[in-house]
Amino acid sequence: MTKLRVGLLFGGRSGEHEVSISSARAIAKALSADTNASKYDILPFYIQKDGFWQAGEIAQQVLDSGAVYQSSVTSPNLWQFPPQTQEVDLWFPILHGPNGEDGTIQGLLSLMQVPFVGSGVLGSATGMDKIGMKIAFAQAGLPQVKYKAVTRAQIWSNPCVFPKLCDEIEAELGYPSFVKPANLGSSVGIAKVRSRQELEAALDNAASYDRRIIVEAGVVAREVECAVLGNDQPQASVIGEITYNSDFYDYETKYTQGLADLLIPAVLPEAIASQIQDMALKAFAAVDAAGLSRVDFFYVEATGEVLINEINTLPGFTATSMYPQLWAHSGISFPELVDKLIQLAIERDATAAGKS
Ligand SMILES: Nc1ncnc2c1ncn2[C@@H]1O[C@H](COP(=O)(O)OP(=O)(O)OP(=O)(O)O)[C@@H](O)[C@H]1O
Ligand SMILES: [Mg+2]
């Protein structure tokens, strides 16, 4: 039997470069596990932080060592893809954040006419942009926190507009509220604000990261997550919970060992758990996700309310990440999970627009 050559695409130009390397290492290990080794060959492709693509030995070295690599010579042409791209039967992109999870890479892979794991352009872009995502969720009838979309131009361009904008935010959302760049991820540029002064500073800071900014009413809630797997008939996993002692689940808490704990399964009333699973599947469909997603929620225990926070179409995939762990607790091992994702990519490609 000829093996399928899987192009494992990792690294990338986002703040989650290092997480991507860890995810790729875990996936490579799973693709080499007994059950998968006879089916798949791995072709590693590493995107440096400057955007340059490395294949062959250098990509393999990053995969083996886990260490970031940056060529000392800057390439004049980032668009020169390594010749090994021609040999790929199926792409497994495991890039998080901008330029990886937002539809850009998915557009490139679509143009290559090779099947790839995960969501297409629409699902990725909608899932990444917190404003677009919230509009899709509202349309699907999913409850969420009150929010207001703001642009960089409103914050920076006209000194008369800004105070009025802050008045509106205060009146509509109150304090505390959360100011977020719409397209970053990993809690980068996110601030919890409790006063006018903090609001103004956070808006200015968020505008330095993104043209699109969202401000949300703060809730006091437990943070619970559900994994989704599938295409047109997706499945939802058991629910997991994230606990931490910091003020909120910020960048430091997320990526410092020992500051946050995952609890699987989350201890929840059965009706709440099934409501969360149902909402996760609706969210997956609402943004047109495919293959995999992790859907994050706020469970306001005091009122019994479940609010959707966000969908992540390429969630962290390290050995200890929530997504694979939720499936492990739902009866699907890590090697089985990557195998299923590849099969789902093939299935989706076969029914893609223009092919059916
Ligand atoms: N409206 C809110 N009320 C209470 N806490 C919030 C709210 N919004 C965000 N938070 C806190 O901030 C954290 C990060 O926010 P969010 O999940 O929206 O962004 P993100 O994690 O950067 O996005 P991504 O998961 O795509 O990387 C949440 O996990 C939560 O702890
Ligand atoms: Mg989040």
- Do 139 and 151 sit in the same domain of this protein? no
Q: What is the pLDDT of residue 355?
A: 65
Same domain as 203, residue 91: no
Assigned domain for 328 exists:
no
CATH of the domain at 251: 3.30.470.20
Same domain, 180 and 31: no
What number does the ligand 1 atom closest to the CA of 147 have? 1
What does the alpha-carbon distance between residue 226 and residue 79 come to, in Å, rounded to a whole number? 37
pLDDT for the residue 101: 92
The total domain count for the chain is 3
Say what the pLDDT of residue 45 is.
98
Average pLDDT along the chain, 356 residues, taken 10 residues at a time: 95 91 98 96 96 96 97 74 96 92 96 97 97 98 98 88 95 98 82 97 95 97 98 98 91 84 97 98 98 98 97 95 98 98 96 68
Cβ–ligand 1 distance for 223 under 6 Å, the answer yes
- Predicted local confidence at residue 181, as pLDDT: 95
pLDDT score recorded for residue 208: 94
User: What local confidence, expressed as pLDDT, does residue 97 receive?
Assistant: 86
At 255 the pLDDT is 80
Cα-based distances in Å from 45 to 7, 37, 284, 303, 337: 7, 19, 28, 48, 21
Distance of CA 159 to the CA centre of its chain: 35
The reply to whether ligand 1 has any atom less than 6 angstroms from the CB of 145 is yes
Same domain, 139 and 155: no
Among 187, 212, 308, say which to mutate for ligand 1: greatest number of ligand atoms within 8 Å of CB: 187
321 lies in some domain:
no
Residue 166, Cβ density class (10 Å: 0-12 exposed, 13-18 middle, ≥19 buried): middle
Note the pLDDT of residue 63. 98
Q: Which residue has the tokens 């959302």?
A: 173
pLDDT recorded at residue 157: 80
Determine if ligand 1 sits within 6 Å of the CB of residue 178: yes
**Cα of 231 to ligand 2 centre, how many Å?**
23
Residue 347 inside a domain? The answer is no
Q: Three-state DSSP class for 216?
A: strand
The CATH number that applies at residue 211 is: 3.30.1490.20
Instruction: Give domain status of residue 319, yes or no.
Output: no
273 in Cβ contact with 239 (< 8 Å): yes
pLDDT value at residue 354: 64
Alpha carbon distance 54, 48 (integer Å): 7
Task: Answer yes or no: do 198 and 84 share one domain.
Answer: no
Nearest-CA residue for atom 29 of ligand 1: 249
